[in-house]
Every structure is written in C-alpha cells, then in structure tokens.
Structure 1
Amino acid sequence: MNSRTDVLVIGGGATGAGIARDLALREVDVTLVERDGLAAGASGRSHGLLHSGARYAEADEAGARECLRENRILRAIGGECVRHTRGLFVQLAGDDPDYFEEKRDACADIGIPTEVVDANEIRAELPALNHDVERAMWVPDGVVVPSRLVAANAADARDHGAKILTHAPVTSMTLEEGEDGPGTREISQVSIGGELERTIEPEIVINAAGAYAEGIGELAGVSIPMRPTRGVMVSVEYDAFEPVLNRCRDPDDGDIIVPHDEEVVLGTTSVPVNDPDEYEQPAWEVERTITECSKLVPDVSERAITRTWWGVRPLYEPDEAARGGRGISRGFVRLDHADDGVENFLSIVGGKLTTYRQMAEATADLVCEKLEVDAECLTADVSLPNAEDPVKLDAYVREFDAGGPSDADILGRR
C-alpha cells in the first residue's frame, strides 16, 4: 500500500506529537509514525519535571528563559496534563552557599519568581525534610503527566486531519536525485513495517526519533552523532507530598524528588550508553539514587518501591561537547540536512520535555518555509483537547498506547 503526505514525522514522543499537532493546526497534511506506542521513549520514561528554568538559571540563561516561558504556556493549555505543584531548591549543611546565591541572583535576572525561606520556616511547612536543611528557595516548578500530554497532542493533530500510526517502524528509505541536480538527493519513499506494511511518499521528512535519531539518519545516509545517557527513576509510596524538591548544588545523582498523588519519583543518574535499546540497569544506580534523595527526605529510603525504570536522554553529541556535558541546560538543535545533501530531511534533537512545544514550533516554522505555507503557530494559545477532563485524556492514552512508567500511578485515578 502506498500513500502520500506533505510531511512525515518519525517519532511519537512529545516533540513528534507536538510537531504533528502544530502542522495540522496550520492545515498542513502530516503523517506521524512511531515504532511502538506513543511516548515509548524518553517522554514516557522521564521523571516528569516541569522546569521553571531555575535548575539552569546560572548555567544557561537562554535555556532557562525557554523553560520559564514554556512552563507558563503548558500551565495555561495543559489542564490535567500538568500538575500545579511548586518547586523547592534546598540547601543542606555542607552545600556551597555561594551556589545558592548565584542561582537566586540568576533567577532574579531572568524573571523566575523566587522566595527564600529559612530553616525553621521550611521545616515547619515540610517536616519531612532533612533537619540539616539550612535554607530553601521556592520556584514555580511543576509536574508533567507525559502520557496524557503526548496523547492529547496526537489527538488534536488527528482531529485536524493528521494520520497517527503507532507500531509502525521505519524500515528503509529510498533516495533519488534532488531537484538541484547531481550531488543532491531527496527522500522519495519511506517504507513502514509492522502490521501496516506500507510505503509513504513524503514531500518532507522530519526525524524526531529522540535517542534513535542517529539510526534514522543512517537510513537517509546522514550522520547525526548522538550521545545518549541513561538515568534511573525510582517511585516509592509517599502520600500527599506537594513540592518538587531539587538539591541546591551542581547537578548530580539523586538530586530531584518529583511528587505524584500517592507516590514520589526519585531521580536520577547519568551514564553514557551505546545503544538506547540495550544497556545495563544496575542495582547500584537504584541504591545511589535512593541514598542521595534520602539526604533531602530521610524516610524515602524506608518507603516501599512501587516501580523502577530507566530512560535514555536524546543528547546531541556536538552540542553536549560544546556545553560541557551534565549540569548544563539540555538545549535543542534543529538540523536541516539540505546542508548534508538531502534536501527534504530535517532533524530535531536534544531538548527537554518542558520545551517540547517550542521545539515543535521551531521545526514547523522551517517546514512551512520550505512548503511556502503562510500560517502562524497556534499551539501556545489553543488548549489541548479535553484538557480539563482526565477521563477523556486517559482514553486518548489508551487509544494511542501511550501509557508509560513515568505516570502509571496517576492514569485512571482522577
């Protein structure tokens, strides 16, 4: 079976679904393919932190501003795809007080709202905190429910004419001589496996495959060097814990606690992997994460573990090398492979769950420029469909097989 589309999006995480939604709202003919269910990669295997920008404020002002803007947009359009908690950066005894001051000053310069509280005040409000807390700083962090977020984006794309094909792995690409003549190429056909077994003839192909972007690039004869790293998340029973907790120090293992309804998610580690499908999942990462997070909230080490999972970050090698690796903002990079001789191939790599919508907008802008489509992005102003109805959102999750470990405890409870 053959079909045509103006734009083929490869990858059904938040960014891919966001691109499909953005283009569909601009009335562009778009098809999304995902080898598994939606949100099967990094989006559905994250800790689900909705960044305020504070984590990156002193290291990457531009990235922090992106997070702050997208945080506010997602709170406005996301409904029950977002949980409106607060966030707290905690300085413990022995943590560098200058780091705390630097972060507070950087947040003030960027416009990230903060409120500093002393040890007595924060212990009274959050008695579970380690008694070694010296001071803390409130920031507008929140929590994303990624399965709902991705599925709602896909549903809105579908409702505006997009085709969303799950369990549809890309198996090969056919390239022909490009319109610019010898030395240039373009993707004329993309073969899809699985039960669908079809060939798609696209005008433009977008690689939004996350940690798998390098492999998709190879099918088009393009080098996309990735530096994927794994990170563990550990969810433990813990009822009625509100704020996101961040250890106020240089980012390291076990420095984030993300609240859910009746659990908290402890994270995370950062270990390079060669293959995003095949990697170790050692016990030491779980143990280290629990040990480090218990320095923020001592009794998390005594709580029952409900589930443990690893996610693989889709980090772009040249960007990571330039930025210095862990601890620096996870910026995104938009690649136009016309520069590599493939005229109708784009990739979007790197980034964070919080900035998925901006990544989609940047990609859709370039697509519309290439297709000569005069249409503005609407996704910052139009709410996700049925955003305030968790029952309908969870129905979207089932429809697109988008359930993942990040929010398995939340889905279906509201």
Structure 2
Amino acid sequence: MDSRTDVLVIGGGATGTGIARDLARRGVDVTLVERDGLSAGTSGRSHGLLHSGARYAEADGPEARACLEENRILRRIGGACIRETGGLFVHLTGDDPAYFEAKRDACAEVGIPTEVVDGETARETVPGLADDVDRAMRVPDGVLVPSRLVAANAADARDHGARILTRAPVTSMTVDSGRVASVALGGDVDDTVRPEFVVNATGPHAGRVGDMAGVSVQMRPTRGVMVSVAHDGLEPVLNRCREPDDGDIVVPHDGEVVLGTTSVAVDDPDDYERADWEVEETVRECASMLPPVADAERVRTWWGVRPLYEPDEAARGGRGISRGFHLLDHADEGVANCCSIVGGKLTTYRRMAEATADLVCDRLGVDVECSTADERLPGASEPARLDEFVRQFDGQGPTDADLVGR
C-alpha cells in the first residue's frame, strides 16, 4: 500500500512530535513515524531537567538565554508536564570560588534570576544537604515529565490532522532526481510513504537515517547513566557548581531522586556498554552534595544517548560546552526535500521544532506563523488525560516511570 503526505517526520521523541505538532497546527498534512513507542529514545531516557540556562550561562550566553525563554514558555503551556521545583547550584568547600562568581555574573548578564544563600540557609532548604556546602545559588530550574510532554505534543498534532504511527521503523528510502521519492516502513505498518518533504528527527540515529537518503549527518553520540534512588523530601534540583563532570546533578521526584550523569562516546547508539563504574561514580559524586543518596535503595538504572553533532563537538571541545541545535538542509547535498535536526536539549525541543517547521513551510509555500509558544498542550491541566495519551502512544520512558500513571 502507498500513502502520500506533505511531510514525513521520522522520530517520535520531543523534537519529532514537536515538529509534527507545529506543522499540523499550520495546516500541513503530516505523518510521523517512530520505530518503537514514543519517547523510546533520548527524550524518555534523560534526567528530565528543565534548564533555566544557568548551567550554560558562562559558556554560551545565547544558548543560555534560549533555555531561559523556553523554560518560561514550557511553564505556560506544559501544565502537568512540568514540575515547579526551582534549582540550586551548590558550592562545596574545595570547589573553585571563581567558577561560582563567574556563573553568577554570567546569569546576571543573560537575565537569569539568581539568589545566593549561605550554607546554613541552603541546608535549611534541603534536609540532608552536605555539611561542607559553603553557599548555593537559587535559579529557576524545574523538572520535565518527558513521557507526558512527548505524548501531549503527539496528541495535539493528531487533533490537528497528523497521523502518528508507532512501531513503524524506516527500512529504506528511494531517492530519484535529487528528491526522496519514497520511504518504506516496516513493523506494524508495512507501508510505503511518498512525501513532499522528509524531516530526520531521529536523535543519535540521524546518521543512519541520513545514509538511507544519501546525505551526510555526522554524529558523535555519547552515553550517560541515570540512577534513581529512594529519597523523599528533596524540592529543588541540585547542580554541582563546578566545571561539568560526572555525577553533578540530582533531580527530585516525589519519593525518589534521579542522579546523573556520565559522558562516554559510543559507536552504536543501540549497542553499547553499560559500565558499573559509571553507576558507582555517579552515586559517589552526587552523594558529595546529598550524602543520604550514597546508601539509599537503588530503584532503577538506565542509560541515555545524546544526539551530539560531530562538527560542533570537534569545534567546541566536547563536554562542558553548551550544546545548541543544528538544522541541516540537505538541499546543499543535492537532496532538495530533506532536512535533519540534531543536537539541542529537551528544554529547547519546541524552539528546534519551530525552526524546522519554518524551513519546511518555506519549501512548501505555506505562509502560516508558529503558534506552539502560545497554545497550551492538550490535557495540560489534567494529569490523568496526559497519562492516557502516554498509554495510547506506548510512550512510557524510564525517566518518569515513577510519576506517570499514579
């Protein structure tokens, strides 16, 4: 069977579903395909931080500002996809005081609101916080519930006419006269799609999908471990105020906290080592901020793979540098109706989707503005409805397995 669509979006994470939502709301005929359930990849295997931009403020002011803007948008449109927690950047005895000052100054320049508190005040705010916390800086971080966020974007896209196909892996593409002419789907769908335009939003798999279209998408994926442990009563996200390193973030859930993370290059985003040392290192380092997690019950452990773009990583020098997104127009390589969106972070998924949809609409001659920053996601005020969307799209990821469906 052959199907036709204006735009085929490949990839069912936050960026892919965000693109489908954006395009569908502009009246474009969209089909989204995902090889597994939604959120099966990077989006659903993250630590779930809603960035304030403070993590990147001194390294990349424009990207930090983008995080802050998207943070505020997601708080408006996301409802129960967001948890309002706040965040603390924690400075321990022995950490470089100059780094703390540089981050505070950079946050002020970007416009990120901060408040510095002494160690005693921080410990009153966070029971169990380490005795050697000298000071801390409050920032407007939060927590994302990615399974709900992705499913709600997909539901809104569907409500505006998009087709959302899960268990539909791309098996091959045919390129003819400088255009993707057809895309074969396997799995539960077993169909051939003939699109006017193709968007590759497959995260760390973008290189493989690009190969099918005969275009180059150079990826440098890295794995990172997350460990969820039993710990009740943590309110703000805890960030270690030092150069980014293993085990420098603690993300609060209701009766658990998620400890993260590591950064190790992988050759294959589907087949990579899950090393015990990563788990132990992450727990040990996070316990330097919050000692009770060292001996807490380990509830679940998972790894995620970051969709890093090789030329950007090579130019910037790797870990610790802010990771913006890259929209690759493959018309430059002779395939006129194909683009790839890579890099970025969960917090900026909507902005990534808007940039991609703008490019696609320009190519299709669609003159309609983006509305995704202004329209609340469906079910935003109804957690049970959001969780029903997750079930409909088989969208449960490990990041928020303790929060969804309760």
Shorter-chain TM-score: which interval? over 0.9
Q: Give distance in 1, aligned partners of 2:125 and 2:274.
A: 36
Q: Give distance in 2, aligned partners of 1:125 and 1:380.
A: 33
Whichever residue aligns with residue 326 of structure 2, its letter is: V
Whichever residue aligns with residue 224 of structure 1, its letter is: V
Q: CA deviation at 1:240?
A: 2.0
1:284 corresponds to which of 270, 277, 281: 277
Q: CA deviation at 1:122?
A: 1.2
What is residue 310 of structure 2 aligned with on the other side?
Answer: 317
Structure 2 counterpart SS, 1:17: helix
- The count of residues paired between Structure 1 and Structure 2 equals 406
Alignment of 1:16-95 (within 5 A): 16-95=16-95
Q: Give distance in 2, aligned partners of 1:174 and 1:120.
A: 64
Alignment of 1:15-414 (within 5 A): 15-177=15-177, 185-413=178-406
The answer (yes or no) to whether the contact 2:127–2:234 under 8 Å persists in 1 is: no
Q: Give distance in 2, aligned partners of 1:86 and 1:124.
A: 15
Q: CA deviation at 1:119?
A: 1.3
Alpha-carbon displacement from aligned partner over 1:264-289 (angstroms, at most 9, x marks no partner): 00000000000000000011100000
- Please list every run of at least 4 consecutive aligned residues from structure 1 whose deviation after the TM superposition is greater than 6 angstroms: none
Alpha-carbon displacement from aligned partner over 1:293-342 (angstroms, at most 9, x marks no partner): 00000010111000000000000000111111100111100000000010
Structure 2 counterpart SS, 1:3: strand
The answer (yes or no) to whether the contact 2:259–2:282 under 8 Å persists in 1 is: yes
Q: CA deviation at 1:215?
A: 0.2
The answer (yes or no) to whether the contact 2:126–2:235 under 8 Å persists in 1 is: no
Two-structure CA RMSD over aligned residues (Å): 0.5
Q: Give distance in 2, aligned partners of 1:107 and 1:18.
A: 28
Alpha-carbon displacement from aligned partner over 1:108-129 (angstroms, at most 9, x marks no partner): 0010000000112112222311
Q: Give distance in 2, aligned partners of 1:125 and 1:343.
A: 55
Structure 1 counterpart SS, 2:19: helix
Whichever residue aligns with residue 84 of structure 2, its letter is: H
Q: Give distance in 2, aligned partners of 1:31 and 1:123.
A: 50
Whichever residue aligns with residue 100 of structure 2, its letter is: F
Identity percentage of aligned residues: 71
Moved more, 122-131 or 310-319: 122-131
Q: Give distance in 2, aligned partners of 1:208 and 1:313.
A: 13
Runs (5+) with no aligned partner, structure 1? 178-184
Runs (5+) with no aligned partner, structure 2? none
Q: Give distance in 1, aligned partners of 2:233 and 2:195.
A: 49
Q: CA deviation at 1:239?
A: 1.2
